[in-house]
Amino acid sequence: MLCRICKSKGRRTKAVIYIRHHKLALCKDHFIEWFEKQTAKAIKEFKMFKKEEKILVAVSGGKDSLSLWYALHRLGYETYGFHVSLGIEGWEYSKKSLETCKKFSERIGRPLIVFNMREEFGYSIEEIAKGSGRKDICSVCGTFKRYLMNKMCKERGFNVVATGHNLDDESALLLSNTIRWEIGYLGRQHPVLPESNGFARKVKPFAFFTEKEIVSYAILNKIEYLETGCPNAKEATSVLYKRALAMLEHEMPGTKLRFYKEFLKKARPLFEKELKERLELNECQICGMPSTAPICLVCRTLERLKEEC
């Protein structure tokens, strides 16, 4: 297959990728160009951030977040990486994640801010999850990561934090929220969650890219990412939704993108009022972060752990 853009310019260059739902075959250079243009388009269309804003990019060491950091850096944004080192020893997961992020930050010459849970809190995420009494370690981990992203933004003067969520993640989440008619979650599902009540703006510039497109971008740019996921991530139900969507995508290319985009355009506005009716928040008496209770969930969990020891 030949690159469509090269062909239009009278050159015969072999394509390295065929994007089925766009019916687009591209060579390496034109794929990278297309990918970065699409990123810039999503940022502009959804008013994610301005050129003069500095951006905290939350990086796990995986393909999505490192590719995001790379693309934003290439697009000329002032980026800072932020990595939460969770203290997970299985498969040396946290050690390798941190090393991968550090190496990448050196490669692009941008600073990496690291929050080490064991050093700062005295516990790993696994110990925290155990002590919290909540069974689902991933959801405890998610709460802590979101809290730390907000805290870092507040302490270091960032208005915006970017995460590497992709179309596979977003469409699977949408399917799961729709099947259960989670009105509140549907109202909040958007590539931009505006800043409010002391929380930083959260943006997902890769929400319209499939995993395959991101892996291709990472490989073509020689981004060294960690291939193994977290050892605690069990066969989550989200995998089931991803599988169902992959089946539909196979038969009807473009399903995922259509499902998500049409939701944003036609359905989400109906649920959006839920967002405007957010609860009044106070400052947590311990850490000062916004919270519905006098002491926030993170501080409550940490206090409980201290009492138990």
| Token duo for residue 175 | 């399917």
From Zn ion, ligand FES, ligand AMP, none, interface partner of 287 (C-beta below 5 to 8 A by class): Zn ion
- Rounded Cα gap, residues 253 and 14, in angstroms: 23
Which range in 3-11, 34-42, 77-85, 219-227 contacts ligand AMP by CB under 6 A? 77-85
In contact, 207 and 42? CB cutoff 8 Å = yes
Helix (H/G/I), strand (E/B), else coil: 161: strand
Give the DSSP per-residue string, 67-110.
HHHHHHHHTT-EEEEEEEE----GGGHHHHHHHHHHHHHHHHT-
Closest CA to 302 of 95, 94, 148, 113: 148
Tell which positions 129-158 bind ligand AMP, by CB under 6 A. 145
Toward Zn ion, which CB reaches closer, 27 or 86? 27
Least Å distance, CB 164 to ligand AMP, is: 3
Specify the DSSP class assigned to residue 267.
I
Residues 121-150 that bind ligand FES (CB under 6 A): 125, 137-138, 141
Nearer to Zn ion, 129 or 175 (CB): 129
Residue 165 contacts ligand AMP per CB under 6 A: yes
- Give kind and range of the element (H or E) at residue 40: helix 28-45
Q: Does 233 bind ligand FES (CB under 6 A)?
A: yes
Structure tokens at 119: 């050093």
Residue 84 site contact among Zn ion, ligand AMP, ligand FES, none (CB < 5 to 8 Å, cut-off depends on kind) = ligand AMP
What is the C-alpha separation between 291 and 298, in angstroms, rounded?
10
Identify residues 161-220 at the interface with ligand FES (CB under 6 A): none
When asked if residue 287 is in the footprint of Zn ion (CB under 5 A), the reply is yes
- The binder of 257, among Zn ion, ligand FES, ligand AMP, none, by C-beta within 5 to 8 A per type, is none
- In the set 19, 27, 32, 98, which binds Zn ion (CB under 5 A)? 27
What is the size of the binding site for ligand AMP (CB under 6 A)?
Answer: 13
Cβ proximity of 49 and 55 under 8 Å: yes
Out of ligand AMP, ligand FES, Zn ion, none, which partner does residue 59 contact, by CB within 5 to 8 A per kind?
Answer: ligand AMP
Q: What is the size of the binding site for ligand FES (CB under 6 A)? A: 8
3-state secondary structure 276-306: HCCCCCEECCCCCCEECCCCCHHHHHHHHHH
Measured from the CB atom, the residue of 125 and 186 that comes closer to ligand FES is: 125
CA distance linking residue 83 with residue 149, whole number of Å: 9
For residue 36, with 0-12 CB atoms within 10 Å meaning exposed, 13-18 middle and 19 or more buried, which class applies? Answer: middle
Name which of 142 and 269 has its Cβ closer to ligand AMP.
142
Question: Contact between 2 and ligand FES (CB under 6 A)?
Answer: no
**What is the token pair recorded at 284?**
């947590």
Selected from 15, 86, 226, 245, the binder of ligand FES by CB under 6 A is 86
State the Cα–Cα distance between residues 17 and 202, nearest whole angstrom: 30
Instruction: Give the interface with ligand FES as residue ranges (CB under 6 A).
Output: 86, 125, 137-138, 141, 230, 232-233
The residue ranges that bind ligand AMP (CB under 6 A) are 58-60, 64-65, 82-84, 86, 145, 163-165
Q: Interface residues with Zn ion (CB under 5 A)?
A: 3, 5-6, 13, 27, 30, 284, 286-287, 296, 299
